């Protein structure tokens, strides 16, 4: 092949962000988030950006954020799922009953058996997948609009949960199960550093791999300084996050109890930070997997193609009906995971668990840049959206804003965020 056959990719890039290949939309969202946090920090005289509050913010966000990643796929394909809060309740009820009744009494494993938590989790997620697939089947194969199917689901699954438990609160839950609830299960300082380091190395590796792959196809690559800047930013962000979580110390009394339980005496001046909560680790894992699915798998490509032009997708041989079933099944499975986190955080299953979560989840996805018209959305955007919503809510509570007024603000922010996004897209000519 001669050089003339090999069209070169135009290399003229303009501004700094383009050189770093950072999505300006993401940058805008991060900017808004930072301003929000700094604002609350000053209003509350420095109580907002403390290790303790950041720790609490992250664990409060996990359940909604996990579901928001699935909602991205649902909305990208021009569907909606109004049933996620209720589905969470059903999954939570099933998991609670499995670990407090079925494994201890029916299987005779007793309480806090090591097999209990895994069994309960698998059963809960399977429940979510099955119900999600069922709703997806009605949407995809029977042609009932998703809005209607999941509006029905909103009522059905909330009350299925009620019937399963006779409306009773179920608890306390299995000890290992509760590790997924946030503060009840954290990695401690050392392991948090190790995980952070692994994450940094993995990020470096994927930067390097991507660069090598581009070079091998003769595509222009970022200047090496830009790669280094990006790598440095990534490393600082990851390690900084770990440092903050490690900086939140476990209270002395709790540490003493832990030592006593092991029959040891706590050394003087001993301190230990909480570190990464397992629930946050779970969210990060979900985010990574969902991002890979969205960007690097056929399934993800088909989801976005179908969202952009359903007819074109079908004419390209994509089975869009089956795709709908898969998307709702994924959404259901994520509701199961979110139910794990939410009920473990409460340490019991209650009737009203997940109430109004459908609205929070949809709002998180939409604030995160998922377009209801379909075809556009990112996983990290949805997670950031969930984080912004949670910060707003927590910050206002900290400032002492009245509860009704908090909701007024959250509602207004949702609309304004989408308005700004609409204007931004028009300006940049993006869809």
Partner 1 sequence: MAIDRNGTPLVEMRDISIAFGGVKAVDHVTVDLFPGEVVGLLGHNGAGKSTLIKCLSGAYQQDSGDIYINGDKVSISNPRDARRHNIETIYQTLALADNLDAASNLFLGREIVGPTGLLDDNKMEAETRKVMHRLNPNFKNFTSPVSSYSGGQRQSVAIARAVHFNARILIMDEPTAALGPHETQMVADLIQELKRQGLGIFLIDHDVHQVKKLCDRANVMKNGQLVGTANVEDVSADDLLGMIIAGKCPPGAIPGPGAIHE
Q: Least distance (Å) from partner 1 to the CB of residue 422?
A: 16
Would you say 312 or 412 has its CB closer to partner 1?
312
Structure-block tokens of residue 80: 């909606």
Would you say 169 or 206 has its CB closer to partner 1?
206
Strand partners, 313: none
Contact range with partner 1 by CB under 8 A, out of 152-160, 179-187, 215-223, 411-419: 215-223
Strand partners, 277: 186
Q: Least distance (Å) from partner 1 to the CB of residue 366?
A: 17
The contact mask relative to partner 1 for 170-209 (x = CB under 8 A, - = no) is ----------------------------------------
CA angle 255, 118, 113 (to 5 degrees): 65
What is the residue whose two structure tokens read 């909330």?
A: 158
Query: Measuring CA to CA, which residue among 93, 119, 12 is closest to residue 348?
Result: 93
Residues 374, 88, 413, 152, CA torsion sign = positive
> Does residue 391 contact residue 57 with C-beta atoms inside 8 Å?
yes
Helices (H), 317-431: 320-346, 357-367, 379-399, 403-428
Instruction: Name which position in 64, 305, 362, 388 contacts partner 1 (CB under 8 A).
Output: 305
Q: Least distance (Å) from partner 1 to the CB of residue 77?
A: 12
101 DSSP assignment: I
Would you say 323 or 331 has its CB closer to partner 1?
323
Q: Least distance (Å) from partner 1 to the CB of residue 362?
A: 20
213 belongs to the binding site for partner 1 (CB under 8 A)? yes
Contact range with partner 1 by CB under 8 A, out of 87-95, 106-114, 134-142, 302-310: 302-310
- How far, CA to CA in Å, does 197 sit from each of 3, 231, 241? 43, 13, 12
Rounded to an integer, what distance in angstroms lies between the CA atom of residue 370 and that of residue 377?
A: 4
Rounded to an integer, what distance in angstroms lies between the CA atom of residue 341 and that of residue 174?
A: 13
Q: Least distance (Å) from partner 1 to the CB of residue 365?
A: 16
The contact mask relative to partner 1 for 1-30 (x = CB under 8 A, - = no) is ----xxx-xx--------------------
Cis peptide before 172 (omega within 30 of 0): yes
Count of Cβ atoms closer than 10 Å to residue 397 Cβ: 11
Would you say 74 or 120 has its CB closer to partner 1?
74
Structure-block tokens of residue 315: 């004419």
Number of residues that bind partner 1 (CB under 8 A): 37
The contact mask relative to partner 1 for 307-336 (x = CB under 8 A, - = no) is xxx-xxxxxxxxx-----------------
Would you say 9 or 262 has its CB closer to partner 1?
9
Rounded to an integer, what distance in angstroms lies between the CA atom of residue 290 and that of residue 297?
A: 10
Q: Residue 277 in 3-state DSSP? A: strand
Would you say 241 or 304 has its CB closer to partner 1?
304
Q: Which residues bind partner 1 (CB under 8 A)?
A: 5-7, 9-10, 213-214, 216-219, 292, 295-298, 301, 304-309, 311-319, 375-376, 429-431
């Amino acid at each position: 092949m001669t050089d003339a056959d090999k069209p070169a990719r135009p290399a003229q890039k303009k501004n700094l962000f383009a050189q770093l290949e950072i999505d300006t939309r993401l940058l805008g969202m991060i900017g808004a988030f930072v301003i929000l946090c700094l604002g609350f920090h000053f209003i509350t005289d420095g109580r907002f950006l403390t290790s303790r509050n950041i720790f609490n913010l992250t664990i409060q966000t996990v359940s909604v954020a996990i579901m928001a990643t699935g909602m991205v796929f649902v909305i990208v394909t021009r569907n909606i799922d109004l049933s996620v809060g209720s589905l969470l309740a059903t999954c939570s009820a099933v998991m609670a009953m499995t670990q407090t009744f079925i494994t201890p009494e029916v299987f005779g494993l007793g309480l806090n058996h090591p097999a209990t938590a895994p069994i309960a989790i698998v059963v809960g997620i399977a429940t979510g997948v099955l119900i999600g697939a069922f709703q997806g089947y009605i949407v995809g194969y029977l042609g009932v609009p998703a809005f209607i199917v999941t509006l029905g689901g909103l009522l059905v699954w909330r009350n299925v949960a009620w019937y399963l438990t006779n409306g009773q609160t179920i608890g306390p839950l299995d000890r290992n199960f509760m590790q997924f609830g946030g503060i009840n299960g954290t990695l401690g300082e050392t392991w948090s550093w190790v995980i952070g380091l692994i994450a940094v190395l993995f990020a470096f590796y994927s930067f390097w791999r991507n660069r090598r792959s581009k070079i091998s196809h003769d595509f222009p690559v970022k200047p090496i300084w830009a790669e280094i800047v990006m790598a440095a930013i990534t490393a600082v962000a990851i390690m900084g996050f770990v440092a903050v979580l490690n900086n939140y110390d476990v209270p002395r009394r709790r540490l003493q109890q832990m030592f006593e339980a092991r029959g040891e005496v706590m050394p003087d001046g001993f301190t230990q930070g909480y570190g990464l909560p397992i629930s946050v680790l779970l969210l990060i894992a979900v985010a990574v997997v969902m991002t890979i699915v969205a960007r690097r798998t056929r399934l993800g490509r088909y989801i976005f193609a179908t969202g952009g032009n359903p007819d074109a997708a079908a004419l390209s041989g994509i089975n869009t009906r089956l795709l709908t079933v898969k998307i709702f099944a994924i959404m259901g499975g994520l509701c199961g995971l979110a139910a794990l986190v939410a009920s473990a955080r409460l340490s019991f299953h209650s009737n009203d668990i997940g109430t109004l979560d459908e609205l929070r989840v949809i709002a998180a996805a939409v604030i995160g840049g998922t377009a209801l018209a379909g075809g556009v959305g990112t996983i990290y955007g949805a997670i950031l959206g969930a984080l912004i919503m949670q910060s707003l809510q927590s910050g206002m509570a900290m400032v002492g804003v009245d509860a009704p007024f908090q909701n007024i603000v959250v509602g207004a922010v949702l609309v304004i965020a989408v308005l700004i996004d609409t204007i931004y897209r028009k300006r940049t000519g993006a869809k």
